[in-house]
Structures are given as structure tokens and as C-alpha cells.
Copies of this chain bind each other. A is one copy, B any other.
Amino acid sequence: VSVIQVMLGDRSYPIAIRSGSLADVGEAIAKELGARRAFVVTTPRVAEAHATAVAAGMARVHLAEERLLVPEGERAKTLRTASRLYDELLDRGAERGSVLVGLGGGAVGDVVGFVASTFLRGIPLVQVPTTLLAQVDASVGGKTAVNHPRGKNLIGTFYQPRLVCIDPDVLATLPARMRRSGIAEIIKVAAIWDAVFFAWLESNLEAVMRLVREPLEEAITRAVAIKAEVVGLDEREAGLRALLNFGHTLGHAIENVGSYRGATHGEAVAMGMVFAAALSESRGLCPAGTRARLVALLARAGLPSAAPDWHAQRDAYLRAISVDKKIRDEKLGFVVLRELGRAEVIGLAPAEILPEGTA
């Protein structure tokens, strides 16, 4: 068992990482939060795989598992879904002391977090992430969101859960490609923050990917600990937290431009990290060979190991990475590697990131 404490003053909370812990969520809610009612928000598919274990654990402490269903994936992240959850919570008599439990992937966590943060001006929230990506990424940081027709995550709040329960056993039912999205984020935090962890991944990647219990728990724990440390130092993304965007400038552009349609978030970020490492190396910001080590690890993880081919669509990519769409030469914060395990943000104009005529 590992417990990582996210240090955010009076909004601090623990992240407990333990195989089989799904069955203990109920006990934690009853004992640690002193709650009498818990509403589990999940999808039909996740409910089928995991709700029985959660419900049994709740029954043990005489908590009724009251279940609210939302659709799979991004389709759950709408104001309409949030509004329906408000209705159901009120219909069932939810109160300020009732707990909302998000059981599912990142999308479920986002919308449950949004509802928890806005229902009765905030009710206690427990996150039980069931994808590797949600376990190592969304579980830390307190970002909640729903989408708007104009873009993803445009409506949302910063709202910290009271507790996060991570059970690595749930990953067994996750498709390999979705697991790789989580691996991409694990490689990312190692690359920006922890050279020892990066070297550990070089030795243990295959065991982690085969879900061998001990190395898997170790990888999740280290990744969560790094993100918790960064977020604890910078809750609202004023500075240091920007390092977590390593690979995401181009990664988001890939997702927006759509030239790699069907790429997962992890695949897009992997390409973005290769791009950022190459840029760092070509500018002499990190030792030669840095990019090659990163590429080798990504390739072993079954992730893309090449930068995106943006040249043919340079204008679309420039637009996608520009902070202010009208001011093309305004610099943006771009995360570069100084070495494996250390990153920094430098100011670059979009045209410096994607220079003309370098195809």
C-alpha cells in the first residue's frame, strides 16, 4: 500500500494505491468522511466490471450504493449530463454531507468532479479511477470539466477530491491500447522530473505493461507522487505545473488538426514529446542522445516514436498552438528537456516552434 498526500493546505487529500482496494472504498467513505450516503457515478460498462466490488464494500459498512449512470467517454461531459445528475441527486434527497464517487475513466471523473464542485456549493468527492491514464493523471490536480460545442473542457472548476482510491487490479480488463495512454503519461512525468524513475522504467517497462503487480504499483505510485509534488507546488497552473504540458503543445495540436485521426491522447502526446525532445536537442538545450533514449522507451511501449509530420499542414498546426489566434508572433510557454528528468518552460513564438521550410 502506498499513500501519497497531495499537499494543498486545507484542501489536501490522500491518494491510496493498493491492489484490491476497490472493495474498501465504502469503508473509507463511512469512516474517514463520516458520510451516510454515497452516490456512485459510473458508466454501464464500468458498472458491469466493477460496481459489484464497490457495492459489496459499501454494504459491509451499511452504506447503500446508490448508482447514477452516465454515457461512456466524452459524451458524458456535457452540461446536460451535469444537469441530469443535479436532478437525480435532488430527487433522491442528496444533501451537503452526501458523497459523490466517480468510478470510471477520465471523462467520468471530469463530469463527476464538476457536479460535486457545483452541487450545493460543493459536496465531498471521492475519485476511483479505472483507467491507467486517469489513475496517474486525472487523479491529481483537481481539474473538473464538461465540454462545450466550441471545444473540450471549456466549462469546469478546480475542485479537490477528499480521497482518491487507485486499485491497479482494475486495469486487467482495460484494452492494451488504452493502457498505453497511461504509459505515455508515466514516461512523461519521469522525463520532466525524475531521472532515476526514467532509468527504472527503462529496466521495468515490460513488467509494468504486463501488469505484474509490484512494478505496476511502483510505476503508478511514482507517477502519482511526481504529479502530486508539482501540483502541490502550483495548484492553479501559474508556473511549475506548466511542465506537465511536456509533449502537449504538439499533442493537442495533433488532436485538433486531426491529421492523425484515431490517435489516442497518449499517442498524440508521445508524438509531441518526440517533437519537443528533438527541438530541445537541436537547440543545444539538452545532451545529444536525449531524444534517442526517449524514443527507444516510447517504442518499447508500443507508442509512436516519431514526431508528427506537420509540414504539409503548417498553417493549421500554427493556428492550433497559438494562444491568441489573432497574434501570430506572441510567444507561448513551450516545455523543453534539459536532460532526461529535468525540463523547463521557454518562451517561443509559434513560428519558432514550427519554422517555415524545414520539411
> CB within 8 Å of B: which residues of A?
9, 79, 83, 86-87, 90, 93, 95, 114, 117-122, 143-145, 148, 150-151, 153-158, 236, 323-326
Contacts and interface: CB of A to CB of B under 8 A. Distances in A.
Shortest beta-carbon contacts, A-B, top 5: A121-B156, A90-B150, A118-B155, A121-B158, A118-B157
B119 A154 contact: yes
Contact of A121 (B83, B119, B121, B145): B145
Nearest to A158: B121
Contacts of A148: 86-87, 90
Given A9-B9, A83-B79, A324-B95, A118 B118 contact: yes
A156 B90 contact: no
Given A9-B9, A86-B148, A157 B324 contact: no
Copy number in the complex reads 2
B117 A157 contact: yes
Contacts of A236: 122
A1 to B, nearest CB: 30
Nearest to A79: B83
Nearest to A159: B157
Contacts of A156: 118, 120-121
A295 to B, nearest CB: 33
A347 to B, nearest CB: 16
Nearest to A83: B79
B121 A143 contact: yes
20 contacts: A9-B9, A79-B83, A86-B148, A86-B154, A86-B155, A87-B150, A90-B148, A90-B151, A90-B154, A93-B326, A95-B323, A95-B324, A118-B156, A119-B155, A120-B156, A121-B145, A121-B156, A121-B158, A122-B158, A122-B236
A94 to B, nearest CB: 10
Contacts of A151: 90
A120 B154 contact: yes
Contacts of A122: 157-158, 236
A150 B95 CA distance: 13
Nearest to A145: B121
A92 to B, nearest CB: 12
Given A87-B150, A93-B325, 16 more contacts: A79-B83, A86-B148, A86-B155, A87-B148, A90-B148, A95-B323, A95-B324, A114-B118, A118-B157, A119-B155, A120-B156, A121-B145, A121-B153, A121-B157, A121-B158, A122-B157
A300 to B, nearest CB: 35
A101 to B, nearest CB: 20
Contacts of A114: 118
Most buried by B among A93, A122, A154: A154
Contacts of A155: 86, 118-119
Nearest to A323: B95
Nearest to A91: B150
A320 to B, nearest CB: 16
